[in-house]
Structures are given as structure tokens and as C-alpha cells.
Amino acid sequence: MENRAPYRSSAQRFHSSPSLGHDDIYNMNARTPTLLLLAAFVGCSHDGGSQDASAAFAAFQTALQQKDREACRKLLTVESQPALDGMPWNAVAKKKPLNVLGAVRQNRYSQIYRVEVEDPNNGDARGQFIVVREYGQLVVDLVASAGLTAKIVEASGSKEQFEPVPLSPKDHERIREYELSQPPR
């Protein structure tokens, strides 16, 4: 018998890199659905941040009811902490606690949550509080929460009044830059 080289396809003869064999392709095909299934489970995982935001607000409300200033301070943003100085602690402690209905992340990339509440002291009126992540901890932002319902109110006797102010050298510089940026007339 002749000593012949084993048959090789043209793809195998002309390519210097090793090609995938049947077993390699079979194993890759078997792993692909598994990886897709794993990715689907990870993608569908539940967002625990909403529950944590609701819990943070509930903890803040409990601290308010118990008149615990230090616990309240830890559960508020840095900007909201000065509001505790003017807090009517006795009036707050006498009221029924708000019913926390749930929290929703503002968008999927942010750490800002809107906590929906119901006020049993005000005919079950609904409201929202903002809870944010600050220094790794979810805390209540009273300033942003107040901004949700803020209304501009003008006093009955108020009127607009312009007061002349001398122009600064910076103002003169901006005026000159503006004049130079205009097309010639």
C-alpha cells in the first residue's frame, strides 16, 4: 500500500491556523444557551434598592416619632440636617405615622428613589419623599422632597423693583466682547 497523507479539505490546507473541530463546535453550542440563560437571570434580578429606600424612609419616620434627633440626623442628607433644628418634635410625635406605599427608582441608572406615602392625618392624601444614596447609605432628602410640592407665592403688596447697580470691570469686559462679536453694520 501507498503511504498517503490523510485527506485535508481546502480550508485546512490553505489556512495555517488550527480550525475548530466537531467536538469544539458542539461544546460551544451547548454552552451558549447556558450562558444566555444565566444572563437572563442576572438581567431579571429584582432591584432591592426600592425596598431599601422604603426601609430607609420608614426608619427615618420611626426616629421622628421617637424624637431621636441623632438617628434622624444619620438618616438625612447633609443639606437636610439643618431642618431638624426647627422641627416641632412634640407635634410630629402626636401624629399617626405615614403609610409607606412603596418606592420607585427615578431611572435605572440613578440612586434617586421616590417613596410614595399616604398621610392618615390628612384624609389619606398621597405624597412623595426623595431618598438618595449619600456616602454609601440611603438617606431622606427633605430639601428635594420639599421641592416636589413647592409653589411660588407672592405677597399681596409685592411689586417688582429694579435698583441701579454700578457696572464692574468684568461687566464692561463682557459688553466689549459682545460688541466685538457683532457683525459690522
pLDDT tens profile 78-91: 999 999 998 898 99
Is pLDDT of 118 > 90? yes
Asked whether residue 112 is domain-assigned, the answer is yes
Tell me what pLDDT residue 142 has.
93
The answer to whether position 168 is within a domain reads no
185 band by pLDDT with thresholds 50, 70 and 90: confident
In a domain, 164, yes or no: no
The answer to whether residue 30 sits within a structural domain is no
- Nearest 5°: phi and psi at 84? -70, -25
Total domains present in the chain? 1
If one counts every other C-beta atom within 10 angstroms of the C-beta of residue 84, the result is 15
Instruction: Give the DSSP per-residue string, 66-118.
Output: TT-HHHHHHTB-TTTGGGGGG--HHHHHHSPPPEEEEEEESSTT--EEEEEEE
Residue closest to 96 by CA, chosen among 67, 62, 120: 120
For residue 21, is it within any domain?
Answer: no
Closest C-alpha to 129, from 55, 48, 47: 55
Residue 144 lies in a domain: yes
Bridge partners, residue 20, by sequence: none
Q: What angle do CA 124, 126, 130 make, to 5 degrees?
A: 140
Of the pLDDT bands very low, low, confident and very high (cuts 50, 70, 90), residue 26 is low
More confident residue, 17 or 68: 68
C-alpha cell at 70: 441623632
Instruction: Please check whether residue 61 lies inside any domain of the structure.
Output: yes
DSSP, collapsed to helix, strand or coil, labels residue 133 as: strand
Between the two ends of the chain, the Cα-to-Cα distance in Å is 101
Q: Which residues pair with 137 in a beta bridge?
A: 134
- Contact (CB, 8 A) for 153 and 163: no
**Order of all β-strands in the sheet with 112-119:** 99-105, 112-119, 125-134, 137-141
Q: What is the pLDDT of residue 45?
A: 46
Does the predicted TM-score (pTM) go above 0.75? Answer: no
> Is residue 108 a part of any domain in this protein?
yes
Range of the domain at 111: 49-149
145: nearest Cα among 130, 125, 126, 127: 130
Q: What is the CATH number of the domain that holds 143?
A: 3.10.450
